[in-house]
């Protein structure tokens, strides 16, 4: 399904006049045995797709909350291979699109061709690789293309206009708009020109634009949603799962809905 499954999910969100909501969870945080339960819960609560982090020893883009989740997963001896095997086993137990976020090193260690093929077997619809620059992405892009897996690009608030346009033209699935100059993690507020930045990306992107990094409250979800097609929420989702605050997760997701149903 890959690219089509993602585009269908975003089309449905647009049809309902909602904003997309993509929660991030670290695969293996709490053990792989709870992965099915968390995917099913997020689907039931109305998430558009799920971004699944792969634990890695040197996560350069991740803030303390996601780093800690990765360390917990590594202590459970969770690997890229065991995650893909678990997803393959769970295939058919949910309908929500799955996007994997991993660094380049685990893909190389796994083997690029084998990685792409096993992602298809596992029902993975999209891939995000934050440490792979545009100039070197042919290292993996051709194998992902063969498998019809969406290659989602990240664009930075500090990117040049030329770079923004290039990334917007190349991205598949959605364009991941990084809203801060720095690592992931919850924040109290955004800089004043955030609306202008997101609106400018929306004007040039052929794919939906989703804002991520630092989204932590229902107010953030609504605020950013005025300027783009939705949000990605990571650190706050991990934090809420850690505290067993499922109501908090529900409130965040409901903030992306045009006619929220809370209760």
CATH code for position 8: 3.20.20.70
Report d(CA 260, CA 152) in Å as an integer.
28
Nearest to 208 by CA among 160, 176, 233, 178: 176
Does residue 156 belong to any structural domain of this protein? yes
Q: What is the pLDDT of residues 130-172, one digit of tens each?
A: 999 999 999 999 999 999 999 999 999 889 999 999 999 999 9
pLDDT band (50, 70, 90) for residue 95: very high
Backbone angles phi, psi at 26, to 5 degrees: -85, 120
Q: What is the pLDDT of residues 169-198, one digit of tens each?
A: 999 999 999 987 654 545 444 556 899 999
Q: Inform me whether the pLDDT recorded for 52 exceeds 90.
A: yes
Does residue 218 belong to any structural domain of this protein? yes
Does residue 259 belong to any structural domain of this protein? no
Does residue 65 belong to any structural domain of this protein? yes
Is 239 assigned a catalytic role? no
Q: What is the pLDDT of residues 192-217, one digit of tens each?
A: 689 999 999 999 999 999 999 989 99
* Catalytic pick among 18, 29, 51, 118: 51
Enumerate the H helices of the chain as residue ranges: 3-15, 35-44, 64-75, 80-90, 104-110, 112-121, 138-146, 161-170, 194-204, 218-225, 235-242, 246-254
Percentage of residues of the chain with pLDDT beyond 90: 85
Burial (0-12, 13-18, 19+ Cβ within 10 Å), 50: buried
Does residue 260 belong to any structural domain of this protein? no
Per-residue pLDDT, averaged over 63-90, amounts to: 93
Look at residue 61 in the predicted model and tell me its pLDDT.
Answer: 60
Q: Inform me whether the pLDDT recorded for 231 exceeds 70.
A: yes
Look at residue 190 in the predicted model and tell me its pLDDT.
Answer: 54
Look at residue 197 in the predicted model and tell me its pLDDT.
Answer: 94
How far apart, in Å, are the Cα atoms of 34 and each of 96, 203, 225, 245? Answer: 17, 40, 30, 16
Secondary structure of residue 260 in the 3-state scheme: coil
Look at residue 193 in the predicted model and tell me its pLDDT.
Answer: 83
Is 245 assigned a catalytic role? no
Report d(CA 173, CA 71) in Å as an integer.
29
Does residue 185 belong to any structural domain of this protein? yes
Percentage of residues of the chain with pLDDT beyond 70: 92
Does residue 76 belong to any structural domain of this protein? yes
State pTM to two decimals: 0.93
**Structural domains counted in the chain:** 1
Report which of residues 61 and 168 the model is more confident about: 168
* Catalytic pick among 29, 62, 86, 125: 62
How far apart, in Å, are the Cα atoms of 204 and each of 161, 163, 170, 211, 233? Answer: 10, 12, 11, 15, 23
Q: Inform me whether the pLDDT recorded for 110 exceeds 90.
A: yes
Burial (0-12, 13-18, 19+ Cβ within 10 Å), 171: buried
pLDDT band (50, 70, 90) for residue 77: very high
Give buried/exposed letters for 83-117 (b at 16+ CB in 10 A, else e). bbebbeebeeebebbbbbbbbbebbeebebeebbe
Look at residue 63 in the predicted model and tell me its pLDDT.
Answer: 76
Q: DSSP characters for 108-142?
A: HHH-HHHHHHHHHHTT--EEE-TT--GGGTHHHHH
How far apart, in Å, are the Cα atoms of 40 and each of 17, 37, 259? Answer: 23, 5, 22
Look at residue 192 in the predicted model and tell me its pLDDT.
Answer: 60
Give buried/exposed letters for 224-234 (b at 16+ CB in 10 A, else e). bbebbbbbbbb
Report d(CA 186, CA 113) in Å as an integer.
35
User: Structural domain of residue 157, as residue ranges?
Assistant: 3-254
Does residue 118 belong to any structural domain of this protein? yes
Contacts of 204 (CB under 8 A, 6+ apart): 164, 165, 168, 169
């Amino acid at each position: 399904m890959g690219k089509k499954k993602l585009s269908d999910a975003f089309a449905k969100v647009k049809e309902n006049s909602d904003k997309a909501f993509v929660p991030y969870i670290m695969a293996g945080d709490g053990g792989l045995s709870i992965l099915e339960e968390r995917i099913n819960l997020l689907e039931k609560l109305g998430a558009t797709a799920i971004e699944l982090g792969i634990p890695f020893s040197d996560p350069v883009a991740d803030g303390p909350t996601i780093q800690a989740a990765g360390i917990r997963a590594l202590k459970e001896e969770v690997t890229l291979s065991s995650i893909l095997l678990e997803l393959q086993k769970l295939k058919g137990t949910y309908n929500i699109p799955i996007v994997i976020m991993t660094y380049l090193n685990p893909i190389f260690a796994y083997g690029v061709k084998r990685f792409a093929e096993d992602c298809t077997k596992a029902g993975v619809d999209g891939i995000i690789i934050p440490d792979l620059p545009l100039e070197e992405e042919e290292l993996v892009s051709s194998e992902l293309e063969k498998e019809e897996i969406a290659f989602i690009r990240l664009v930075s608030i500090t990117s040049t206009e030329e770079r923004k346009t290039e990334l917007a033209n190349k991205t598949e699935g959605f364009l991941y708009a990084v809203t801060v100059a720095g690592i992931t993690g919850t924040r109290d507020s955004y800089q004043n020109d955030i609306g202008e930045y997101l609106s400018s990306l929306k004007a040039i992107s052929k794919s939906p634009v989703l804002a991520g990094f630092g989204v932590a409250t229902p107010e953030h979800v609504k605020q950013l949603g005025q300027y783009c097609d939705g949000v990605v929420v990571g650190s706050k989702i991990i934090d809420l799962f850690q505290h067993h605050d499922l109501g908090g997760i529900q409130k965040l997701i409901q903030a992306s809905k045009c006619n929220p149903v809370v209760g």
